[in-house]
A and B are shown apart, each in its own frame.
Chain A
Amino acid sequence: KQEVTQIPAALSVPEGENLVLNCSFTDSAIYNLQWFRQDPGKGLTSLLLIQSSQREQTSGRLNASLDKSSGRSTLYIAASQPGDSATYLCAVRANQAGTALIFGKGTTLSVSS
């Protein structure tokens, strides 16, 4: 059974710092991996999706990498801002037809000004 783990569970940084959020998964046979952002009391917003054949994806100050063989992904946030404060969720889709996402429990990020 696929399990997704995110470390740390919570992170506090001052504004301007670069930071890395970690995601690991137990079964390397994934179809793709997706990073989401969730603001308190709200739904999820997709940030980046990495296909299993890709190594990384970038969007603005965000960069997500994927090392499928080791079962790891990282989300790098450059020059953090208070508006980046949210919970970040990692999710994988198994390498099978007819399956949906398996989520980690998230990392709650707080960026202070």
Chain B
Amino acid sequence: DADVTQTPRNRITKTGKRIMLECSQTKGHDRMYWYRQDPGLGLRLIYYSFDVKDINKGEISDGYSVSRQAQAKFSLSLESAIPNQTALYFCATSDTSAPTPETQYFGPGTRLLVL
């Protein structure tokens, strides 16, 4: 079983719709992250969470919100989707107590298309 899972893997939605992308991890890591990847722009950080009660904005948080429901779950919401939010979204985790702290482990990604 994968350590970091993302659901759904693919999603098509319409402009103005609210959608949620979910991430779950079985690694027991304390930190979780959401990134988006766009051709020619690389990966950019949307939000990150260092524990259940700690949520931080990343480089491009406008238009997004997150919820850390438990240590193992971190959800990303698009309140009102717009076409330029079409991208590949990745969830990642890291463990500050690990022998090599801050190594990040990525999920398989969610491909989102906003029409």
Contacts and interface: CB of A to CB of B under 8 A. Distances in A.
Which of B4, B106, B108 has the most chain A CB atoms closer than 10 A to its own CB? B106
B56 A101 contact: no
Given A42-B108, A43-B108, A46-B105, A100 B42 contact: no
A43 B103 contact: no
Chain A contact-residue range equals 20 to 34
A101 B108 contact: no
A31 interface: yes
B103 A100 contact: no
Give the interface SS of chain B, mostly helix, strand, loop or mixed: strand
A104 B43 CA distance: 8
B43 A46 contact: no
Given A44-B90, A98-B50, A49 B102 contact: yes
Contacts of A101: 33, 43, 45, 104
Q: Looking at chain B, what size class is its interface with the partner chain? A: 20 to 34
Contacts of A103: 35, 42-44
B99 to A, nearest CB: 11
Given A44-B90, A100-B33, A106 B108 contact: no
Contacts of B45: 100-102
Interface in A2-52: 31-32, 34, 36, 41-46, 49
The 4 closest A-B pairs by CB, nearest first: A105-B42, A44-B106, A43-B106, A103-B43
Interface of A: 31-32, 34, 36, 41-46, 49, 89, 91, 93, 98, 100-106
